Amino acid sequence: MSTETAAPVQMVNVQIDGVWLQFPKGTRVIEACRQAQKLIPHYCYHPKLSSPGNCRMCLVEMGMPKMTPDRNPVVGADGKPEIAWIPRAQISCAQDVSEGMGVRTNSPMVQECRKGVMEFLLINHPLDCPICDQAGECKLQEFSVEHGTAESRFLERKVKKPKSVELGPRVTLDAERCILCTRCIRFMKEVANDDVLGIVDRGTFNSISTHPDRILDHNYSLNTVDICPVGALTSSDFRFKMRVWFLKESATIDTNCGTGSNITVGSRENVIYRITPRDNEAVNGCWMPDSHRLNFKYVGSPERLKEPVIRPQLGEEGPTWQQAINLAVEAIKRNAGRVAIVASGRSTNEELFLVKRLATALGAKVDILPRSGVADGMLIAADRNPNTSGAKLLGVATGQFGEIVAGVKDGSITALIALGEDATKAGLSEEDLAKLDAVVATDILPNKTTAKADVLLPVSAPFEKRGSMINLKGRLQRLNRVVTAPGSARDDWEVLRDLILGITGSNGLHSVEEVFKAMAAETPALAGLTLSRIGDLGVDISLP
Amino acid sequence: MAYVVQRPELTFKEKAYLPSILNGLKITFGHFKKMIKGETKVTMQYPEEKWDSQLPEHYRGAPTLVKDEHDRERCVACQMCEFICPPRAITIKPEEIPSDNKFAKVEKRPREFEIDMIRCIYCGMCEEVCPEQAIYLRKDYAINGLTRAEMVHNKAKLYELGGVFAGLVHKWNPEK
Amino acid sequence: MMTLAFFNSIPWEMILWAAGKAIFVIFLVVLPLVSYTVYAERRVSAAIQDRVGPNRTGFPTTLLGFKKDLQLFLGGLGQPIADAVKFILKEDFTPGGVKQFYFWLAPCLAMLPLVSLAFIPFGSSLFGEKMVIADVNVGVLGIFAVTGCSVYAIVLAGWASNSKYPFLGGIRSSSQMIAYELSMGLSIIPILMLFGSMNLSDLVQYQADNGWLLLPLWGKGWSWERWLMLVPLGISFIIFMISVFAETNRLPFDMPESETELVAGYHTEYSSMKFALFFLGEYAAMIVGSALMVVFFFGGWSLPFIPDGNGNAAPLFQSIFGGIYALLPNWVWGLANITVFFGKVALILIFFIWVRWTLPRFRFDQLIKLGWLYLFEIALANIFLTAAVLAFTNSK
C-alpha cells in the first residue's frame, strides 16, 4: 500500500459470507472477495481495466445495513449491524464496498444465477474445444465445470459467425467463441491508447471487429489474447502449435530491453512454444510488447553453435572443451597486456562479475557493447541491453569502447575476447579482427566475429541459463533455465570460470549460486542477497 | 494369539516315501496316457486355428484412425489421446487446414499422427478420451515388423487400418 | 621315452578300433541321444501336464528350395537342432569380475561324464571286436573315479562366477555329491561280492548267460540262491537309482540349480555354448547313470532270445533257437545287441523324465538327511546282508 497519500485510508466494515472484514474504501466488491479468499467467477472484469459489467458472471447477493426509521443501523445480537439483503443478485465488479455492506458469494440464489448465466453464455458457443487453443486455460471451461450444467437445453440453431478471422498480423479472431466481454476493446482503448477494436452488428449477431480502415497491428495487440477469457482471440503465432496442457511453464524475465518484463515461458520437450507476461506490479504490470514476446525463435534455430570450434591451423577438427579452453588460455597468455574484452549487456550479473575478474587478472580493457533503440513510452526501453545497470554496478561498463577500437586499429591490442557480442557492430571491421593475433569468442549464433574467432566457444541463450539481471530502474531479477542448451554448449559463467582458472590458477566457484555469493560479498549494493532470495518478483536495490 | 497346528500323524506307509512316489508316478502316467491317446483337450494351435471370427465387438486391437462418410479425417489433432496415453505411444503434429480445402471449416487436422506400436499397450484410453470419435481400437492384433521404424504407424497407415466409420459426430457439419 | 615305447607297443588296429568306437559312441549315439532326451523331456513333460509341447520345428527344407518344411510324424523333431544353432549363435558373454580361467574351465569339465562311457560295454561284439572302448578289469572303479570328478565342474562354475547364487549352488552341489557318492559306491558292492570281478564286459556276459541280476530266469539264474539274492540286490538297485538321481542333479534332487531359490544355480552367469555344455553335461551324466543301471542290473546289451555278436546265446536259448541264429550273419546280432543296450538306456531315461515331472524338490536339509542318515546306513547294512546270504547259500 502506498504511504504517500496524505490522508489516512478510510477502512470500511464488510461482511463476506458471514465474516466481518475491513477493506479500504474504494475497493471493488469482487476485489474484496478475492482478498477474502472467495473467488468470484468473472469474464469481463479485469483489475487493470474499467468495469462495464456486461458478462453478468460475477453476480453475488448483496445487502446494506438495515436502518431504523431514523437512519441508524439496526444492531444485531452479536453487536454487528443487521443486513437487509437485496432480493436480486448484483454484479460485484462494478460496485465499491461501503460501510456495513453484506456479500454472499455462494448462496443458493447466487449459484442459480451463475448457472443461468453460464447457460446463456454457452447458447451459441460452437463447443470446438478440441481445436481451440484456449482449451485448458479457458474460463468458459473452468466455470462451466464449476457452475454450469452438463446439458444444454438449447434446441434451436446456433448463430453462425465468422471463424478464423485475422484481426491483425498476430491475432486471430473466432467470433463464435466470443462472449462479448469487451476486455480486448477496453485494453486497446484504455491501455494501448489505440481504439481500434469495437463491436459491430446488433443483438445476437454482435461481434468484435476492427475499425473498417484499420487492423489490429499495435505492438501490444497480443495482450488482448492474454486477457481474452475464452478462445475468441488467439495468437496467430501459437495457433495450433501445441496444446497448453503440455506446456511446462517457467518463470523468467525478458531480455530484449532494459525493462526486464517478467515472463512465463511455455515449453515442451526442450522446445519453447510461447511467452506470456507474468504479473509484476513493480516492473511490467501484466502486459508485455509483442515484439519481445515473439522473439524466442532463435533459441531453437538450427544454426545454433553447438560444439567448440578452433581455427583449423590450431589443431584437429572437433576439439574437446578442454582443448578449446586450453588453446584460448594459451592465446590470451601469449598476448598478456595487450588483451581487450568486449563484454555484453545481455550477460547476467554473475557473468559480468567473472568478466570483471578476468579483466582484472589480465589488466585488460573491458566494456559492453551499447545497443539502443527507440523507447515506446510503455514497456520498451531505449536501452536494448537488459543488464546495463548490472554492468555499470560491476564495473564492466566503463565507457572504454572507443579506446578498445582505437587500440585494435593502432596495434596496441593484439587479442580480443568477444563475449556473446559481434565486435564488428561497434566500429571494428573484419579486417581489423583478422589482423589480431587471437580472437576468442563465445556466442550462441554465428556472426562476423565468430567467423574470425580462433577459438569459438558455444554458450547458452537467455532461456537456457540461470543468473540475475538488474533492470534500468534498479530491480534485481532472476533469470531461470527454461530449456537446455543444444549440443555441448555450456553456460557462459562456466566458460568464464574455466578461462579464469586457466589464467590465474584457481577460483573455487562451482555453481552459479557460489558466483552470486562471491559477487554479493564484493558488491555493497548486493550485500546480504543470494540468488534464491531474489525470488520470482525480484528486489529493488539502490544503484550507486 | 499364537496357536499350534498339529502336524498330521503319518503312517509307516506314508513315511516310507516310496508308495507315495509310486502313487504320484501313477497319476502323471495317467495324464501322459490320456494325452497320447488324444483324450486331453489342448489349447488352440495359433497360426492354423484362429479365433478371429469370434472376437467380441469390444475387442481391443491396434488403435486406428477413421474417416467419416464424407472422407473427412475425423481427427482434429486435439492431442487428448497424446495426453492420456499411458505409455506415451502417440505423437501428433497438428496443422491448420488450408482455406481452399473442402473441410476448411474444421480448421485443424493432424499433419503427422504416429503411434509407436512397440509402446502401445492396447488399453483403449485414446479411444475413450477422443472427443471426435476419430480413433478406434480395431481387431488387428498381429502387429509386427522387422525394424523399430516399421513398428511406428504413421497417419497413412492408421487410416489404412481404420478405414471409414460412419457415425455420430456431426459437429462440423455446417447445417448443424 | 618310456611312454613313447609304450604307445609304440600298442598295435595300430587297436588304436583305430578304440578311436572308431569312441567316435561312434560319443558323436553318433550319445550326443544325438542327449539332444533328443532334451526333446523327449519337453514332450513328455508337456504330455504329463496336459500341454502340447514343441511340435513345430521341422527340418527347414524350405531353405533348400522345397515348398514346405519337413515335419516328421510327431512334428518338432528339428527342435534339438534349432536349439543347438540358437546356443551357438547367442552372445557368449563373460561377466566382469569372474575368475576367467576357471570360468572357462568349468563347462569343459561338465562334459567329463562322457569319459566314463569308455568303460561301459555298449554291445557284445562286432566282427570279433568287443564293443567296449576300454575293456579294463577295474571298470567299476574307473567309472566312479571319473564321475566323481564331475562335481568339479559345478563347484568351479559356482566359485568362478563371483556371484552369490552360483556360489550357493556350487556349495550345495559339493555336499550333495559327497553324500550320495558314498551310498552309490556302497550299493554296488553286493554285485561285486556276488560276481567277484570289476570287469563290466564279463559282468554283462555273465548276465547274458545266467539271467539279469534283477531277472534271474535262465542259466545259473534259475536257482533259489539267485532268487534269494534278489533281496539285497533289490535294495542295492533302489539305493543306486536314488543315488544316480542325486548324482545327476535331477529332480527331486536338483538342489544346485533349484531355480525358485537360486535363479539358475551354478550356471546363472553362463550363456551361449558355455551354458549349452553344462546342459549337455547334465544329460550326458543322465545317460551314463542310465547305462550303469542297465549294465549292473538289467543285463547290459543282452536280451533273452537274442544271441551275442558271435551268434552264441545262453545254452537254454541256443538249444531251442540255434538254427534261427545261424540264418543271419553275426554282425546283425552284434548291431541288435547295441540297439538293445541303447533301447534299455532310453527306457530308463524316460523313467528319469517321468520322475522329474512327478515329484517336487526336496528341501536341502531333507536331502542331506536322506543321504547320510538313511541311504548310507542301508547300503552299509546291505553289504552285510549280502555277505550273510552268500555265506548261507555257499554253505548249502
Chain A residue closest in CA terms to B130: A130
B 39-78 near C (Cβ less than 8 A): 40, 42-43, 45
Mean pLDDT of A267-281: 94
C44 shares contact with chain B (CB less than 8 Å): yes
Q: What is the pLDDT of residue A518?
A: 92
Chain region(s) in chain A for CATH 3.10.20.740 = 11-116
Q: Is residue C8 part of a domain?
A: no
C69 pLDDT tier (thresholds 50, 70, 90): low
Q: Identify the three-state secondary structure at position C59.
A: strand
Q: Which residues of B touch A240 (CB under 8 A)?
A: 77, 94-96, 107-108
Contact A27, A16 (CB under 8 A): no
* Grid coordinates belonging to A479: 533469470
Q: What's the pLDDT at B48?
A: 79
DSSP state at residue A446: -
For residue A513, is pLDDT > 70? Answer: yes
Which amino acid, one-letter code, is at C53?
G
Per-residue pLDDT at B176 exceeds 50 = no
Q: How many structural domains does chain C have? A: 1
Q: Which CATH architecture has domain A309-540?
A: 3-Layer(aba) Sandwich (3.40)
Among A376, A377, A48, which Cα is nearest to A188's? A48
Is the pLDDT at C1 greater than 60, yes or no? no
Residues A139-146, mean pLDDT to the nearest whole number: 92
CA C107 to chain B, closest CA, distance in angstroms equals: 33
Q: Tell me which of A165-169, B132-136, C108-112, C376-380 is least confident.
A: C108-112
* Surface-to-core class of residue A355, CB atoms within 10 Å of its CB (0-12 exposed, 13-18 middle, 19+ buried): buried
Nearest to B131 among A130, A239, A245 (CB): A130
> What distance in Å separates the CA atoms of residue A58 and residue A52, rounded to the nearest whole number?
12
Q: Find the mean pLDDT for residues A120-140.
A: 90
CATH classification code of A155-242: 3.30.70.20
Residue A43 burial by Cβ neighbours in a 10 Å radius (0-12, 13-18, 19+): buried
Give the whole-angstrom CA distance, residue A30 versus residue C372: 91
Nearest residue to A253 (alpha-carbon basis) of A513, A481, A542:
A481
Cα torsion angle, A380, A384, A390, A392, sign: negative
Any idea how long chain C is?
396
CB-nearest to B28 from C48, C51, C238 is C48
Instruction: Report the amino acid identity of residue A247.
Output: L
Which cell numbers in the block locate residue A251? Answer: 518463470
Give the span between the Cα atoms of B48 and A87, in whole angstroms: 78
d(CA A505, CA A207): 69
Its domain, for residue C202, covers 13-56+67-395
Nearest by CB to A240, from B83, B95, B105: name it: B95
- In this structure, are residues A139 and A147 in contact, taking their beta carbons and an 8 Å threshold? no
Mean per-residue pLDDT for A85-113? Answer: 92
Does residue A458 surpass a pLDDT of 90? yes
Round the average pLDDT of chain C to a whole number and report it: 81
The verdict on whether omega for the bond into residue A370 sits within 30 degrees of 0, i.e. cis, is no
DSSP-assigned letter for residue A114: H
Strands (DSSP E) found in A140-247? 165-166, 171-173, 197-200, 207-210, 233-235
Contact A453, A441 (CB under 8 A): yes
- pLDDT for the residue numbered A151: 80
Q: Report residue A46 as a C-alpha cell.
A: 479485469
Q: What is the dihedral of CA C246, C247, C250, C256, to 10 degrees?
A: 90
Binary contact (C359, B24; C-beta < 8 A): yes
Hey, what's the cell of A121?
453464455
Residue type, B122: Y
Nearest to A130 among B99, B132, B174 (CB): B132
* pLDDT tens digits, C242-290: 888 888 877 778 776 677 777 777 888 888 888 888 888 888 888 888 8
CA nearest B21 in C: which residue?
Answer: C359
**Contact indicator for A459, A348 with CB cutoff of 8 Å:** no
Q: Which of residues 133-152 of A touch B (CB under 8 A)?
A: 135
User: What stretch(es) of chain A map to CATH 3.40.50.740?
Assistant: 309-540
What does CATH list as the number for A11-116? 3.10.20.740
**Does residue A271 sit at the B interface (CB-CB below 8 Å)?**
no
**Cβ-based contacts of A128 with chain B (< 8 Å):** 107, 171
Query: Which tens digits make up the pLDDT trace of A2-33?
Result: 555 567 788 999 999 989 999 999 899 999 99
**Mean pLDDT, rounded, of chain B:** 86
Measured CA to CA, the distance from residue C18 to residue C23 in angstroms comes to 9
- Between A296 and C331, name the one with better pLDDT: A296
Span A404-425, mean pLDDT? 89
The rounded distance, in Å, linking the Cα atoms of C351 and C347 is 6
At C337, which amino acid appears?
A: N
Which residues in chain B are closer than 8 Å to C48, comparing Cβ atoms? 28, 31-32, 35
DSSP secondary structure, C300-326, as one string: TT-BTTB--TTS---HHHHHHHHHHHH
Instruction: Please report which confidence band the pLDDT of residue A108 belongs to, taking 50, 70 and 90 as the band edges.
Output: very high
Report how far residue C377's alpha carbon sits from residue C385's, in angstroms, rounded to the nearest whole number: 12
- The answer to whether position C61 is within a domain reads no
What is the Cα–Cα distance from A174 to A232, expressed in whole angstroms?
Answer: 5
Question: A195-254: per-residue pLDDT in tens?
Answer: 999 999 988 899 999 999 999 999 999 999 999 999 999 999 999 999 999 999 999 999
Nine cell digits for residue B176: 448443424
State residue A203's pLDDT score. 87
Higher local confidence (pLDDT), B45 or A132: A132
On whether the CB atoms of residues C173 and C206 are closer than 8 A, the answer is: no
Average pLDDT, integer, range A516-531 = 91
pLDDT given at position A182: 93
0.80 exceeded by the pTM? no
Backbone angles phi, psi at A132, to 5 degrees: -85, 130
H/E element holding A263? strand A262-268
For residue B25, the chain C residue with the least C-alpha distance is C358
Q: Where in chain A is the domain with CATH 3.30.70.20?
A: 155-242
Q: B78, A135: Cβ pair inside 8 Å? A: yes
Residue C57: what pLDDT?
Answer: 76
- How far does the CA of residue B27 sit from the closest CA of chain C (Å)? 8
A160-164: which pairs have CB atoms within 8 A and are 24 or more residues apart? A160/B174, A161/A124, A161/A205, A161/A207, A162/A207, A163/A126, A163/B105, A163/B107, A164/B99, A164/B107
How far apart CA A232 and CA C32 sit, in angstroms, is 79
Angstrom distance (rounded) from CA A395 to CA A402: 16
Residue that wins the pLDDT comparison between C148 and B101? B101
Specify the pLDDT at position B169: 57
Residue C354 contacts B where some CB pair is shorter than 8 Å: yes
Q: pLDDT tens digit string along A310-369?
A: 886 655 667 889 989 999 999 999 888 899 999 999 999 999 999 999 999 888 889 999
What pLDDT was estimated at residue C396?
Answer: 62
**Confidence band, pLDDT 50/70/90 cuts, at residue A301:** very high
Nearest to B29 among C46, C50, C354 (CB): C354
